[in-house]
């Protein structure tokens, strides 16, 4: 392979982070991400094999990608994810492999993931009430998520982040209990603004509970939140610490305060389409190259083409915003 120049886009953003969706399947059906029933998942033959994912990662690692995050769908419903982690950790140039999960299968897998070399875990937790959990996810399972969080801590994962999608009319009641739950366990609680990536197309601006409003609610309960210096500007979250203690709370505000100017992320979907943005309406088909005998350089060129076409911003707030055809579970959040 002779191509090794960094993945710099036309706005000077250097891409060093890749989100890999390992499946579009999930064991719950959150309304902000998936349809409730009759989901048409991709046939398994269309999904990249671990070997194909590893080859793609080797190629992009030579182009400067350093961090990987496995996601989905729910990554842990795919068999043997620890084996994939082990492969990816060993790729020269890769500094960190992380994973985002809904936590339901974590109590069974946390130890194996840790042993495989997984560095970090983000666990989704929108509520501490089973009834609200079922309203959101249209399945049972909060207990299992909480067991999963405990298991991850027991397995030795540090810096665990709990991610809650913030939805007006739903999350206001949850903000303080969630923050307290995280603070008491030494975890970081992060609130993510609801983005127009639901499968049913029912997202409305009025449903977005802005990070700023959550911050005010937390300050009323816990006292002032002090912004922390951003060590890495490409991180989507703005982190705060409690003035009264050591706990951290983060806000990911893609709708009210877009952070596209510092974006360094690329994505590959479960079936091998490369995307330069969650909101991209165009994709680059790496699977055809991976399965069609293409050289590493040809695949590197495709990734460069994708990065070269990246727009300045996601455009949610623009009048000509076009919602991507794919919902979040089909992209990989």
Q: Give contact residues for ligand SAM (rule: CB under 6 A).
A: 26, 32-33, 71-72, 74, 100-102, 124, 163, 165, 192, 194-195, 197-198, 328-329, 333
CB of 129 to ligand SAM, least distance (A): 16
Identify the residue whose tokens are 């366990």.
Answer: 185
- 307: enclosing H helix or E strand: helix 296-308
The nearer residue to ligand SAM, 194 or 279, going by C-beta atoms, is: 194
CB of 163 to ligand SAM, least distance (A): 4
Q: Residue 210 contacts by C-beta under 8 Å, 6 or more apart in sequence?
A: 193, 253, 255, 256
Integer-rounded Cα Rg, in Å, for the chain is 19
Q: Residue 98 contacts by C-beta under 8 Å, 6 or more apart in sequence?
A: 67, 68, 69, 70, 118, 119, 120, 121, 122
**Quick one: angle between helices 130-137 and 142-154, nearest 10?**
100
CB of 19 to ligand SAM, least distance (A): 9
The nearer residue to ligand SAM, 196 or 302, going by C-beta atoms, is: 196
Tell me if residue 111 falls in helix, strand or coil: helix
The nearer residue to ligand SAM, 74 or 239, going by C-beta atoms, is: 74
CB of 332 to ligand SAM, least distance (A): 7
The nearer residue to ligand SAM, 32 or 284, going by C-beta atoms, is: 32
Is residue 96 within 8 Å of residue 135, measured between CB atoms?
no
Q: Which residue is nearest to ligand SAM, using beta carbons?
A: 333
The nearer residue to ligand SAM, 81 or 299, going by C-beta atoms, is: 81
CB of 198 to ligand SAM, least distance (A): 5
């Amino acid at each position: 392979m002779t191509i090794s120049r960094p993945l710099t886009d036309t706005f000077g953003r250097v891409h060093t982070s890749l989100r890999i969706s390992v499946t579009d399947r999930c064991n719950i059906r959150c309304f902000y991400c998936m349809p409730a029933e009759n989901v048409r998942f991709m046939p398994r033959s269309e999904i990249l094999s671990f070997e194909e994912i590893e080859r793609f990662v080797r190629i992009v690692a030579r182009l400067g990608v350093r961090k990987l995050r496995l996601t989905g769908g729910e990554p842990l419903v795919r068999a043997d994810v620890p084996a994939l982690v082990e492969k990816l950790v060993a790729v020269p140039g890769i500094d960190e492999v992380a994973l985002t999960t809904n936590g339901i299968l974590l109590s069974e897998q946390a130890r194996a993931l840790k042993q495989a070399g997984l560095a970090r875990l983000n666990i989704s937790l929108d509520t501490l009430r089973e009834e609200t959990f079922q309203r959101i996810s249209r399945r049972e399972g909060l207990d299992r998520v909480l067991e999963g969080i405990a298991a991850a801590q027991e397995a030795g994962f540090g810096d665990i982040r709990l991610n809650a999608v913030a939805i007006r009319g739903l999350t206001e009641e949850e903000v303080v209990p969630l923050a307290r739950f995280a603070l008491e366990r030494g975890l970081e609680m992060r609130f993510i603004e609801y983005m127009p990536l639901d499968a049913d197309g029912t997202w409305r601006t009025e449903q977005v509970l802005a990070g700023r409003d959550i911050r005010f609610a937390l300050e009323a309960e816990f006292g002032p939140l002090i912004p922390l210096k951003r060590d890495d500007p490409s991180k989507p979250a703005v982190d705060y610490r409690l003035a009264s203690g050591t706990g951290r709370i983060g806000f990911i505000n893609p709708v009210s305060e877009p952070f596209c100017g510092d974006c360094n992320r690329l994505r590959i979907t479960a079936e091998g389409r490369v995307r330069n943005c969650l909101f991209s309406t165009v994709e680059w088909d790496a699977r055809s190259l991976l399965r069609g005998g293409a050289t590493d350089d040809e695949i590197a060129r495709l990734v460069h083409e994708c990065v070269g076409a990246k727009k300045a911003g996601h455009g949610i707030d623009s009048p000509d915003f076009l919602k991507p055809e794919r919902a979040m579970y089909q992209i990989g959040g």
